[in-house]
């Protein structure tokens, strides 16, 4: 069974990698390599299996990683691979590298957000919504859009650890709670 990914652990490794890259003045080259490695890891099932199978010794995994990646990637990326392997946290490779990319975007002043709606938004609806959300957050946003019909209507906006739920589904839940409270007082 795959290991549950702990966001705080992912962030700690990504921040460490980002700080090393910043000190080496190599945040962009390391970002390119991080993206390349994340794609390789995602697309190569054999590599993932080899690294994640618990019956192969960590030292054997590190030896193979050294042959494959020592000269292909910058030292901070290579060291991250070795460290995650040694700590038994190979399943964190992709999430850490993706979190690094997020840190790079934030370093550039670009923050990501997710807009969830019940139906696909028309293209002419996105710019005013984007502008309103940037005004709401006070920062430039790179938005992605997702459709989840179960929210029935309205919008859910996710940014960093904040969620603003203005969906019809959430409003119905609030109404149900209020109605239950009222019926409790009337008995």
Q: Residue 61 maps to which CATH number?
A: 1.10.520.20
16 and 80 assigned to the same domain: yes
Report the percent of the chain where pLDDT is more than 90: 71
Domain final position from 73, 107, 141: 107
- Residue 181 half-sphere exposure, CB side, CA atoms within 13 Å? 6
Residue 36, both tokens: 């390349």
Residue 68 covered by a domain:
yes
| Lowest-confidence segment of 11-20, 43-52, 84-93, 174-183 by average pLDDT | 174-183
118 and 79 assigned to the same domain: no
Q: Can you say whether the dihedral through the CA atoms of 16, 22, 26, 31 is positive or negative?
A: positive
In sequence order, the β-bridge partners of residue 159 are: 113, 162
Q: Please give the mean pLDDT across all residues of the chain.
A: 91
102 and 139 assigned to the same domain: no
Q: Give 99-136 pLDDT, tens digit per residue.
A: 999 899 989 988 999 999 999 999 999 999 999 999 99
Total-model pTM: 0.70
Domain final position from 47, 74, 107: 107
| Residue 150 pLDDT exceeds 80 | yes
- For residue 183, name the pLDDT band (cuts at 50, 70, 90): low
Domain count of the fold of the chain: 2
Residue 1 covered by a domain:
no
167: phi > 0 → left, psi -120 to 50 → alpha, else beta; which? beta
- Domain span including residue 101: 7-107
22 and 79 assigned to the same domain: yes
- For residue 185, name the pLDDT band (cuts at 50, 70, 90): low
Q: Give 28-63 pLDDT, tens digit per residue.
A: 999 999 999 999 999 999 998 999 898 999 999 999
| Residue 1 pLDDT exceeds 50 | no
Phi, psi of 142 (to 5 degrees): -110, 110
């Amino acid at each position: 069974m795959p290991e549950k990914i702990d966001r705080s652990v992912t962030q700690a490794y990504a921040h460490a990698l980002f700080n090393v890259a910043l000190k080496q003045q190599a945040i962009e080259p390391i970002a390119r390599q991080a993206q390349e490695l994340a794609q390789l890891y995602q697309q190569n099932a054999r590599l993932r299996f080899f690294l994640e199978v618990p019956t192969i010794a960590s030292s054997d995994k590190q030896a193979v990683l050294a042959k494959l990646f020592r000269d292909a990637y910058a030292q901070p990326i290579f060291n991250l691979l070795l460290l995650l392997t040694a700590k038994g946290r190979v399943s964190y490779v992709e999430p850490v590298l993706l979190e690094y990319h997020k840190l790079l975007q934030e370093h550039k002043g670009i923050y990501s957000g997710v807009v969830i709606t019940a139906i696909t938004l028309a293209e002419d609806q996105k710019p005013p919504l984007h502008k309103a959300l940037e005004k709401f957050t006070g920062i430039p946003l790179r938005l992605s859009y997702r459709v989840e019909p179960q929210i029935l209507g309205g919008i859910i906006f996710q940014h960093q650890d904040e969620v603003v739920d203005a969906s019809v589904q959430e409003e119905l839940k609030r109404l149900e709670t209020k109605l239950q409270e009222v019926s409790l007082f009337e008995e």
